[in-house]
Amino acid sequence: MAGGDQLREREGACVSNDTTVVIGAGPYGLSIGAYLKGRAQPALVFGRTMEFWQQMPTGFHLKSVWSASTLFDPDDRYSLDRYCTATSTPRQEPLPITLFLSYCCWFQRQAVPDVDPTYITRLVRDGETFVLELADGRSLKARRVVVASGIAPFCYVPEFARHLPPELASHTQAHRDFSSFANREVAIVGRGQSALECAALLHEAGASVELIARGPVIWINRALYHRTGPARRIFYPPSDVGPPGLNWLVASPLLFRLFPEKTRYALDRRAVRPAGAEWLRPRVEGHVRITDTAEVVKAVPCGERLELTLSDGSTRLVDHLFLGTGYRPNIHKLTYLDEALRAQILARDGYPVLNEWFESSVPRLHFAGALANHSFGPICRFVAGAKIPARQILRCVQRDRRFA
């Protein structure tokens, strides 16, 4: 069966036992699909190409360095460098979101040309197979499923803000354009890259901005990278996640998973502390008011504005509160997972427990991306982490076909 076009011709379908269904068309879904298709393994990829990334603010740049911002195929034919060569696109660092999206769409056209943009509305286990129900009324059965549906469902909203209307408070992921906030007073909660870059973009759009953080703002210092020339790769692997030394362990998720759970937690916290890219610092310091010794404990609408009470007892009156509070993956937030299926998945703190093939306790149900963080470490939150699950899932498929 070729893919989405043929499936649309019928109300339902049963794909071959060899076919792997991939849910999600972001960096992980596309890389997994590319690995499978690149080795002639039947695969269907569902999702809107780079949908979460397409909604990022205009003017956004990736925190990841160039070498950590490529997608993956088994022959390295469609890397970011090859895209730039093929399209005569100059290298730009920091990497603009517009360039990255253009590259990812090119990668999809080359490596996974038959992505089906239809949403999966329900995933059910039926004996040895899975049943997938689609938003357009179709359904299909498959023997193997990979969940790579990204982090959008996992945005974290603190308790104090959950009752607030969207006109007064919103997560940073809800905005593509900040021009409507010109000449308005706004506050941002958070001190990671998203909060800091949104603060810069809001200031540049004409807003009066205060960043509120419960700890100091940390700026990434890559002094060894800049001062060691060709030897920089001794200190920084291409994935570039975590501080020197620890970053090589983070770059090896199959090794990371062998550590005890308590050790993995400690390594994770140390590797990905909230921090801003060094290139962003001049756009924030001196332009954005930073309160890094308090946190918001209460937020109450006051007419058309919002009154914030901070832990130090001070108050603020703002036009809008932005929540740069990150994401907390949890399989229970994947609403398309059937309740009975979720109950069969062994999980820790909302993360599925995965074996070396990124396979859950439910046979032939794999998870990639942020939901793999508990087992494989923080690289799973970054584009650079897509290679290992793509390779491992391909090997798992090939192994099962040999022994079928």
Containing H/E element for 186? strand 185-189
Q: How far is CA 329 from the centre of its chain?
A: 10
Q: Could you read off the pLDDT of 371-382 as tens digits, one per residue?
A: 999 999 999 999
Q: Which of 274, 277, 280 is nearest to 327 (CA)?
A: 274
Q: How far is CA 234 from the centre of its chain?
A: 27
Rounded CA-CA distance 85/32 in Å is 24
Strand partners, 347: 352
What is the pLDDT confidence band of residue 3, given thresholds at 50, 70 and 90?
A: very low
Range 20-154+327-403 classified under CATH 3.50.50.60 = yes
pTM: 0.93
What is the pLDDT confidence band of residue 114, given thresholds at 50, 70 and 90?
A: very high
Task: Give the residue with greater pLDDT, 230 vs 95.
Answer: 95
Burial string for 282-307 (b: 16+ CB within 10 Å, else e) reads ebbeeebebbeeebbeebeeeeeebe
Predicted pLDDT of residue 285: 97
Rounded CA-CA distance 31/394 in Å is 11
Predicted pLDDT of residue 9: 40
Q: Could you read off the pLDDT of 253-286 as tens digits, one per residue?
A: 999 999 999 999 999 999 988 999 999 999 999 9
Which residues, at least 6 apart from 269, have a Cβ–Cβ distance to it below 8 Å? none
Superfamily of domain 159-218+274-323: FAD/NAD(P)-binding domain (3.50.50.60)
Q: Pick left, alpha or beta for residue 366 (phi over 0 → left; psi -120 to 50 → alpha; otherwise beta).
A: beta
Reduced to 3 states, what is the DSSP secondary structure of residue 119? coil
What is the pLDDT confidence band of residue 242, given thresholds at 50, 70 and 90?
A: confident
Rounded CA-CA distance 200/192 in Å is 12
Q: Which residues in the chain are classed under CATH 3.50.50.60?
A: 20-154+327-403, 159-218+274-323
In the predicted model, is pLDDT for residue 307 greater than 70? Answer: yes
Containing H/E element for 401? helix 387-403
Q: What is the mean pLDDT of residues 133-148?
A: 97
Rounded CA-CA distance 147/375 in Å is 15
Task: Please give the mean pLDDT across all residues of the chain.
Answer: 93
Rounded CA-CA distance 110/124 in Å is 31
The end-to-end CA distance of the chain, in Å, is 20
Q: Which two tokens stand for residue 10?
A: 């019928």
